[in-house]
């Protein structure tokens, strides 16, 4: 019987270990024989996404908060409909670095855009396709600053007060969705964080 795909998203403030854990999980799953696709938002695996990502990360323009939000949503609509969904339909496991909860955490809790509106717009952009599992790698802002260092792009260069709001926002979102969003203490060493990640993925794999 053909397996149904699995859609897993990786969330958390910069330096929390999303990319590290995503790549460890990809290797682990590929070794087990699964067909795995890795991607990211903004800018994963489609030219429009790469163009939008360039604007978001490097524009010299003082971007309006709503304009910023709609750029993220435009990227997401293209990404989910033209890339993620077709891969899920082929039974693949899709690992995505950042997704809907990033918009809620950064543009909503961070920049103060209306949360209900973002939830509604996320649902429109994604056609209500939800991740099967989301990891929130939780670290404090000080650890984030230490790990990211000085080479920051526009989105990373936002200051500690903003990041603290985003972190608390993420925790709120996860606490409201305990079934689908797993909070992982990502201050722990990489191997421990991966052990925690793997446990939830194994559970999810049993269900497909
Ligand atoms: N659990 C961890 N403990 C210590 N350092 C880590 C841990 N996870 C990731 N790092 C390091 O922190 C930096 C940022 O990790 P990365 O995976 O790129 O985070 P993100 O993708 O969330 O921004 C990298 O140098 C990485 O090696
Ligand atoms: Mg990363």
Does residue 85 belong to any structural domain of this protein? yes
The minimum-distance atom of ligand 1 relative to the CA of 21 is 17
pLDDT of res. 2: 47
User: What would the pLDDT profile of 68-83 be if each residue is shown by its tens digit?
Assistant: 999 999 999 999 999 9
Does residue 74 belong to any structural domain of this protein? yes
Does residue 1 belong to any structural domain of this protein? no
Does residue 202 belong to any structural domain of this protein? yes
For residue 139, the domain's CATH number is 3.40.50.300
Does residue 138 belong to any structural domain of this protein? yes
Q: Is the pLDDT of residue 4 over 90?
A: no
The minimum-distance atom of ligand 1 relative to the CA of 186 is 1
Rounded to 5 degrees, what angle do the CA atoms 64, 53, 108 make? 45
Q: With CA atoms as reference, report the closest residue to 136 among 156, 160, 166, 116.
A: 166
Does residue 141 belong to any structural domain of this protein? yes
Q: Ligand 2 centre and the CA of 24: distance in Å?
A: 13
Provide CB contacts within 8 A for 6, sequence distance 6+.
Answer: 88, 93, 94, 132, 133, 204, 205, 208
Sheet holding 133-138, edge to edge: 36-40, 93-97, 6-11, 133-138, 181-185
Q: Ligand 2 centre and the CA of 141: distance in Å?
A: 16
Q: With CA atoms as reference, report the closest residue to 104 among 95, 112, 115, 93.
A: 115
Residue entry with tokens 């590290």: 20
User: What would the pLDDT profile of 27-57 be if each residue is shown by its tens digit?
Assistant: 999 999 999 999 999 988 878 888 998 998 8
Q: Give yes or no for residue 186 CB within 6 A of ligand 1.
A: yes
Does residue 187 belong to any structural domain of this protein? yes
pLDDT of res. 155: 65
Q: How many domains does the chain contain in total?
A: 1
Residue 205 — very low, low, confident or very high, per pLDDT cuts 50/70/90?
very high
Give CA–CA dist 84/174, Å, rounded: 23
User: What would the pLDDT profile of 7-18 be if each residue is shown by its tens digit?
Assistant: 999 999 999 999
User: What would the pLDDT profile of 125-164 be if each residue is shown by its tens digit?
Assistant: 999 999 999 999 999 999 999 999 876 666 666 788 999 9
pLDDT of res. 43: 86
Q: Which domain holds residue 74?
A: 6-206
The minimum-distance atom of ligand 1 relative to the CA of 12 is 22
pLDDT of res. 156: 63
User: What would the pLDDT profile of 166-199 be if each residue is shown by its tens digit?
Assistant: 999 999 999 999 999 999 999 999 999 999 999 9
Element (H or E) spanning 183, and its range? strand 181-185
pLDDT of res. 1: 39
pLDDT of res. 157: 66
Does residue 172 belong to any structural domain of this protein? yes
pLDDT of res. 159: 86
Nearest CA to ligand 1 atom 17: 17
User: What would the pLDDT profile of 104-124 be if each residue is shown by its tens digit?
Assistant: 999 999 999 999 999 999 999
């Amino acid at each position: 019987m053909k397996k149904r795909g699995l859609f897993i998203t990786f969330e958390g403030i910069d330096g929390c270990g999303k990319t590290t854990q995503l790549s460890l999980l990809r290797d682990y799953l590929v070794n087990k024989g699964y067909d795995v696709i890795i991607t990211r938002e903004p800018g994963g695996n489609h030219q429009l996404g790469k163009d939008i990502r360039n604007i978001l990360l490097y524009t010299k323009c003082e971007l309006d908060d709503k304009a910023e939000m709609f750029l993220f949503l435009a990227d997401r609509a293209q990404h989910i409909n033209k890339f993620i969904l077709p891969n899920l339909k082929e039974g693949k496991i899709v690992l995505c670095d950042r997704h809907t909860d990033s918009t809620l955490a950064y543009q909503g809790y961070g920049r103060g855009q209306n949360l209900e509106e973002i939830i509604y717009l996320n649902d429109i952009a994604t056609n209500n396709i939800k991740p099967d599992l989301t990891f929130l790698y939780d670290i404090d802002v000080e650890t984030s600053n230490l790990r990211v260092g000085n080479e920051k792009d526009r989105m990373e260069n936002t200051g500690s007060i903003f990041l603290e709001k985003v972190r608390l926002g993420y925790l709120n979102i996860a606490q409201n969705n305990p079934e689908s969003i797993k909070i992982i203490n990502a201050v722990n060493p990489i191997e421990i964080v991966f052990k925690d990640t793997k446990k939830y993925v194994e559970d999810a794999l049993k269900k497909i």
